[in-house]
Structure 1
């Protein structure tokens, strides 16, 4: 009988790989490559507060949160449907990424805020008229003090929709070397689960489909001046 690899060994290997990838990323973007800062196509302050049937109210984090995130531009808005559905949208944009000013993953931030991640999955989306039309985004189920939330997020950087923290770092290093660019953005949706997890996810993925064409008007693609 062949013995399987122990979970602890797998976890250690993944942690070691992630640490090595982060070290390589920091070395490349801080010391070995000259790169340009890229402005958003339009300031995120101009982002629409009405998306389809959703109406939004702009909100803000405390300044210390923005300082920790290291963003160059950001947008936070609470959107609602007439029937009471609600989604919080956050977009963080980085003109360039260096040590201390790099995109933060919710997989690290949410547990620090007391939220347990109980499920993780990749959600496929088809959004005709955008590039690429077929996209994949990350879904988390979060729980804290008996309350549950669905979070959908992705990294939208230099023309790519990325649904992996690992590949986000790989592409960051690649584009820093090849394109001399490290600009990027992080897009996150959060909605409370009132009754049904699947229904909440459906509402959020539909919102995301309407969101993508608008994001293309603000976030630089594969070619940037």
Structure 2
């Protein structure tokens, strides 16, 4: 039994080494078309206005492409959208973590959960993250997730790492994006605002694959 376990571990170690070596000699994909800027300016009846962060924020996030918009409805409602895309050369993911960043910005997280969004391509419901944060004068509802390879949706970093590794081995790419949808709410309209954020997120999740960035492998 011990010999069998040792042989199995040895084989796995050798296969990992071979895979790592082959990956090291493969051409590194680079982003040749970001495409996310073509994301519709109107989603679910909300019309977008572009916005920007201070340059220091962009340097800290270090993404290949940022989308920061305020989507406004006819009745004055506002849904904020941020997308940070990281190509394979940048490791496919951000160090941004709402569970750390929100308290750092003075918002207390009072509730967190997982909500499921219908993915039309697979006809399945995929889990994404829900956060309710609070300051003295407002509530913030946030839906966020990671998306990789265009249509793969994951709710946390370790799942993203698995998908990135799989993509790197099978398709020679491990790009990904952090997506955040947020909306302000009063104590009285929390459930209504949450449903609006969830519906918007559902539409966005199914729209993103059509505007996913394009990468191309280049020789070392």
Q: TM-score scaled by structure 2? A: 0.76
Please identify which structure carries the higher strand content.
2
Partner of 2:203: 210
Q: CA contact under 8 A between 2:92 and 2:174: conserved in structure 1? A: no
Q: CA contact under 8 A between 1:123 and 1:137: conserved in structure 2? A: yes
- More divergent stretch after superposition (199-208 vs 107-116): 107-116
What's the offset of the Cα at 1:71?
Answer: 0.3
Partner of 2:48: 56
CA distance in 1, matches of 2:153, 2:216: 16
Partner of 2:171: 179
What's the offset of the Cα at 1:220?
Answer: 5.3
Instruction: Indicate how the Cα distance of structure 1 residues 67 and 201 shifts in structure 2: closer, same or farther if over 3 A, else same.
Output: same
* Equivalent runs, 1:8-87 vs 2, <5 Å: 33=24, 36-39=28-31, 42-87=34-79
Partner of 1:37, secondary structure, is strand
Rg larger for? 2
Extract unaligned runs of 5+ from structure 1: 1-28
CA distance in 1, matches of 2:134, 2:50: 25
Q: TM-score scaled by structure 1? A: 0.75
Partner of 2:63, secondary structure, is coil
How many residue pairs get aligned? The number is: 194
Q: CA contact under 8 A between 1:41 and 1:218: conserved in structure 2? A: no
Instruction: Indicate how the Cα distance of structure 1 residues 38 and 62 shifts in structure 2: closer, same or farther if over 3 A, else same.
Output: same
CA distance in 1, matches of 2:139, 2:114: 18
Instruction: Indicate how the Cα distance of structure 1 residues 97 and 38 shifts in structure 2: closer, same or farther if over 3 A, else same.
Output: closer
Partner of 1:122, secondary structure, is strand
Partner of 2:146: 155
CA distance in 1, matches of 2:164, 2:130: 22
Partner of 1:217, secondary structure, is helix
What's the offset of the Cα at 1:97?
Answer: 5.4
What's the offset of the Cα at 1:99?
Answer: 7.2
Partner of 1:106: 98
CA distance in 2, matches of 1:133, 1:38: 31
Partner of 2:129: 138
CA distance in 2, matches of 1:168, 1:92: 14
Q: CA contact under 8 A between 2:110 and 2:132: conserved in structure 1? A: yes
After superposition, the CA RMSD in angstroms is: 2.9
Q: CA contact under 8 A between 1:115 and 1:144: conserved in structure 2? A: yes
Instruction: Indicate how the Cα distance of structure 1 residues 77 and 37 shifts in structure 2: closer, same or farther if over 3 A, else same.
Output: same
Instruction: Indicate how the Cα distance of structure 1 residues 157 and 40 shifts in structure 2: closer, same or farther if over 3 A, else same.
Output: farther
